[in-house]
């Protein structure tokens, strides 16, 4: 079955430390890939997206993600975490690259940042 | 632009009651959708619409109805609320992929937290 896996439910890092959030998908072809962030009590905000081309994509708030076809992964990274990055992060895929918007979301990773 | 707006922010219903969750967008987006968010399950697509007068089911449509009479509005109706519908509901919108043959970012509203007792 098609699925998106975020293996880490919770991650805690110290402010200033680096961060990597994992995302794996299982689809036959390369889907469109997204990372969203949800701050407490808020809606979802797009951090970055990958459709094609350069496999390292830059997003807002200093985040980047790397698409690795061989590993079916799209991991999110940030070199130095700020306290304001504490939030829940969702990986999502649009498995039909014609853009049907039937996103499949991962279960999310909740990030806690220690001062 | 206000973006995607949802009302109400919070709602408590008794089992069997009906209600409509409102969603509106002012970005002239063709595509609109409804998701529900449950702990440990991420977001799941309930219904979506690719334009006025056109709707279709997503992954978890049972117990919900939608209609799209205008480009701007996409209400979600619960005809007979059940405790299993306790959730946070998000509306999203986007340009149609038909515009450029690619996918566009979905913009999400702030959500409606619904509790059914």
Residue A14, min C-alpha distance to chain B (Å)? 24
B97: nearest CA partner in chain A: A99
A89 touches chain B (CB under 8 A): no
Mutate to test the interface with A, among B25, B92, B106 (most CBs of A within 10 A): B106
Instruction: Please state, for a pLDDT cut of 70, what percent of chain A lies above it.
Output: 93
pLDDT tens digits, chain B, 117 residues: what are they? 779 999 999 999 999 999 999 999 999 998 899 999 998 888 999 999 988 999 999 989 999 999 999 999 999 999 999 999 999 999 999 886 655 655 577 899 999 999 999
Nearest to B46 by CA among B20, B70, B21, B66: B66
Q: Taking the alpha carbons of B44, A86, A11, A22 in that order, is the dihedral positive or negative?
A: positive
pLDDT band of residue A96 (cuts 50, 70, 90) is low
Tell me the count of A-B CB pairs closer than 8 A. Answer: 59
Instruction: Report pLDDT for B52.
Output: 92
* CA distances (Å), origin B109, targets A45, B21, B59, B88, B106: 9, 12, 20, 11, 10
Question: Which residues of chain B does A42 touch, with a Cβ-Cβ cutoff of 8 Å?
Answer: 110-111
Under a CB-based contact definition with an 8 Å cutoff, are residues A107 and B40 in contact?
yes
Helices (H) and strands (E) in chain A, counts: 0, 12
Nearest to B94 by CA among B83, B84, B105, B85: B105
Give the tens place of pLDDT for each residue, A17-69: 999 999 999 876 778 899 999 998 888 999 999 988 889 999 999 999 999 99
pLDDT band of residue A102 (cuts 50, 70, 90) is confident
Q: Characterize the bridge pairing of strands A104-105 and B4-7.
A: unpaired
pLDDT band of residue A99 (cuts 50, 70, 90) is low
């Amino acid at each position: 079955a098609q699925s998106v896996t975020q293996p880490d439910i919770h991650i805690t890092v110290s402010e200033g430390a680096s961060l990597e959030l994992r995302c794996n998908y299982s689809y036959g072809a390369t889907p469109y890939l997204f990372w969203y962030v949800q701050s407490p009590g808020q809606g979802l905000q797009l951090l970055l997206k990958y459709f094609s081309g350069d496999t390292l994509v830059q997003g807002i708030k200093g985040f980047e993600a790397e698409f690795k076809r061989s590993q079916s992964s799209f991991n999110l990274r940030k070199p130095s975490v700020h306290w304001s990055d504490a939030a829940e992060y969702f990986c999502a895929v649009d498995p039909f690259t014609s853009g049907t918007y039937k996103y499949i979301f991962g279960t999310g990773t909740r990030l806690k940042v220690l001062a | 632009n206000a973006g995607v707006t949802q009302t109400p922010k919070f709602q408590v219903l008794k089992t069997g009651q009906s209600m409509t969750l409102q969603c509106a967008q002012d970005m002239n987006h063709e595509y609109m959708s409804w998701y529900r968010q449950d702990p440990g399950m991420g977001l799941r697509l309930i219904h979506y619409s690719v334009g006025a007068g056109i709707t279709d089911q997503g992954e978890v449509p049972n117990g919900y109805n939608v209609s799209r009479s205008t480009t701007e509005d996409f209400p979600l109706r619960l005809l007979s609320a059940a405790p299993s519908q306790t959730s946070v509901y998000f509306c999203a919108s986007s340009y149609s992929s038909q515009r450029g043959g690619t996918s566009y970012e979905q913009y999400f509203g702030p959500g409606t937290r619904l509790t059914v007792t």
